[in-house]
Chains A and B, each alone.
Chain A
């Protein structure tokens, strides 16, 4: 048990859809600066958990806390402005907006002064540089490839001025190795430079091993294991339930 107070915490967080229990009393504590991985088979409740934390769905019971403050009942845009930002499995970029506008939109939502705007534009250009999309700065986002959209969307999250904790939902799915490396580099860079906290949902074990020191395993809506990838791999029940042969 780490001594510092967790930045993101869930307490007995549950969600029922009719009779189906998607999340069952989930306790999660993510420390500031941590890069937490969440893995689990399809239908384990990973996306539901992220939707509960970001206000897309309201929990049936339990609580979500960001830096000690409850987020239950907050609207999604309020939660985003408080610093808990997410990305989506499905691309949510603004197709008709330029790459630059895609990045400045989240920044401007919170900061409306002239200086803040200029600062935002500078920051956006730096991020575009980081993900190697500078040449497309003024092109509409719909001209991007699927992988580039994932990068753009991930980069947009970093633009929220109050960002403290970033939830990435399957950021590496269907992305080619080059872009995957760029994305990993981006996360590492932002983590190192700003001390940001990440929660990453992914199936990509190699990436998870590289990024996350601690991984939470979700099966059938419950937390069944938590620890480093090697610790988890030593748990026979987890391996048989989910990881199976593909785990190496």
Chain B
């Protein structure tokens, strides 16, 4: 007897199953973004990272998503720049929103705290702009990073000094973890690489506003280059006071981070900023990857200004996670970790990103190239500043 009722039920079940499978294919893939959006964190940095991350979504979703049609979505949480805020944010994006990986970290302390929870919850973290050694030096399976670390910053400026033929170098550093760390690392690498550089390293308290005593010693040392390792106000004060003591511009100065790209730089240093060297992580004059080029164009269209490093890295990190999901053919965090360790990924900068199980701080770490830029005239837009050095080239 031909049972039409059974057939109908079977057809219905089949249709239902297909519908379900189709629905699963359409379920979006969530990426966690833990960024500082309110004080005491740095909300500006948080916003810039978020801008980049959102454009990465536009890019991949515009191409039809990942895993054969699943859209990407972000779960954004505010860390407030506090470790406990970061822990709560990580738990929420992983526990409630089922994120497959978490990125966006800006404050090192937040990243370190989140990594401790990640260790037990198993969803990987990808540090966006966090520099503390402990983030990768602890060798956690879940911890990854794409930011510049001290040894590479130092390697870059030593290579730059070699290239320029600077033999006597004064390093004037604040007595913070950042400043002392860079002094120690510079000293170590000069000895290790047996470089022909005579180093005068001087330190000063971050609260000092008068650096005349230190600079008088710099002047007496007659260096070829003065490296300015101050952050914030001390960095600006050193630029002014070195000029007052007639050290600069005869002796060129290198600023240890990308502070001169801030909009108020020339207002503070109308006469003293010319010919300044400074470390930067990005320049529009740099050669970028294919997706990096797409990004800068899209960013300029959307925000009517050039992207900065925070946005570029926010974009690049979400892009890496999207590629890892695609390559792993899975949203399982374990599979994603496995893929991150073995795969190759496109980033905003040219060249492939990898996260090898390397020694020490280099574990699961990728650092974008370091640039050294130089202003060519007073009042020059940093985007026009000459790229005088690029690491790895």
A touching B, CB within 8 angstroms = no
